[in-house]
Amino acid sequence: MAVQEATGIPALVSRESPLESARFGRSIERLTVPEGADDSLSEVRDAASGSAADIVILRYPADRVDWFARLLATPGRDAIFADCLMYWRLRAGAGRRPEPAALRTSGVTGTDVVRSLVADIFHAYGNHYLANPLLDPADALAGYQEWALRFVREDSCVTLRDEETDDILGLATLDETEFRTEILLAGVVSRAQGRGLYAHLLKGIEDRTLARGAAEIEISTQAHNVRVQRAWARYGFEPLRALITVHLVQTSLMCADVGC
């Protein structure tokens, strides 16, 4: 989830998600409670109950620890807990850079190359869609591929390459504004994992951020992905915020799929 969805809106916002709806064959809306908003749980439940969407993907600040138990009583909706999204931040220039190596970062072209890289890097990633029995994990991975291709077209995708062979060892897609870089997808290909290469990918992103004069870098993942969060901590990132993800599904659909 891009950071502006969590922090760049002033109040409770519900919006249709046509790409997700088309991908999964279910009508999907996203309902986001931004950090610091005064929205009450009753407003959130009313918005979800009044929605005609099959699935409402709700995100709200994790400090509202009493909400989920009460979301279970949302009229016409079944609540599925779909993990917690953890955000981390680095001040550009403060990263703990790895020792120099025969590696470089550069752009990427070629639709098939990007699809293959995303499929390899993220095939086992436990994203929030996997919590919902109505959604096909293969469709979720296809969504990540489409997402990555969008940023390739915008020249906001970088690869980590072996300088000698030019082999692609890692991939990252970036949402870049004047003041910050948000890393949306980032990882090392399966054959090269466990060799400390992820830090070099982060270094390349930090260099790119500094070169264009931006001040900070943000990144997020599901709370269960502890391994990558350790890598961020080693590099110098610090935890920033946490958002709970809940899927509010039409009760009739859940009954039809898993039985009532």
Q: What distance in Å separates the CA atoms of residue 210 and residue 216, rounded to the nearest whole number?
A: 9
Same domain, 113 and 75: no
Q: Could you give the strand order of the β-sheet that contains 77-91, starting from the edge strand earlier in sequence?
A: 13-16, 28-32, 55-61, 238-250, 77-91, 216-222, 180-188, 168-176, 157-162, 103-106
Q: What distance in Å separates the CA atoms of residue 203 and residue 217, rounded to the nearest whole number?
A: 11
**What is the tally of helices (H) and strands (E) in the chain?**
9, 10
What's the chain's length in residues?
260
Distances (CA, A) of 109 to 112, 123, 159, 162, 214: 9, 21, 10, 17, 25
Q: Which residue has the tokens 């992905």?
A: 225
* Phi-psi group of 110: left, alpha or beta (phi > 0 → left; psi -120 to 50 → alpha; rest → beta): left
Contact 64, 42 (CB under 8 A): no
Same domain, 121 and 249: no
Q: What distance in Å separates the CA atoms of residue 175 and residue 219, rounded to the nearest whole number?
A: 10
C-alpha Rg value of the chain to the nearest Å: 19
Whole domain around residue 50: which residue ranges?
Answer: 3-85+243-258
Q: Which residue has the tokens 């095939």?
A: 123
Distance from the first to the final alpha carbon of the chain? 32
Same domain, 121 and 95: yes
Q: Which amino acid appears at position 203 of this protein?
A: K
**Residue of 10, 8, 72, 60 lying closest to 30 (CA atoms):** 60
Q: Are strands 28-32 and 55-61 parallel, antiparallel or unpaired?
A: parallel
Phi, psi of 104 (to 5 degrees): -150, 160
Structure tokens at 9: 């809106």
pLDDT tens series, the chain, 260 aa: 555 555 555 567 789 999 999 999 999 999 999 887 776 899 999 999 899 999 999 999 999 999 999 999 999 999 999 999 999 999 999 999 999 999 999 988 788 999 999 999 999 999 999 999 999 999 999 999 999 999 999 999 999 999 999 999 999 999 999 999 999 999 999 999 999 999 999 999 999 999 999 999 999 999 999 999 999 999 999 999 999 999 999 999 987 666 66
Domain total in the chain? 2
Q: Which amino acid appears at position 61 of this protein?
A: P
Same domain, 236 and 247: no
CATH number for the domain harbouring residue 186:
3.40.630.30
Same domain, 115 and 223: yes
Same domain, 111 and 52: no
pLDDT of residue 36: 75
Same domain, 71 and 165: no
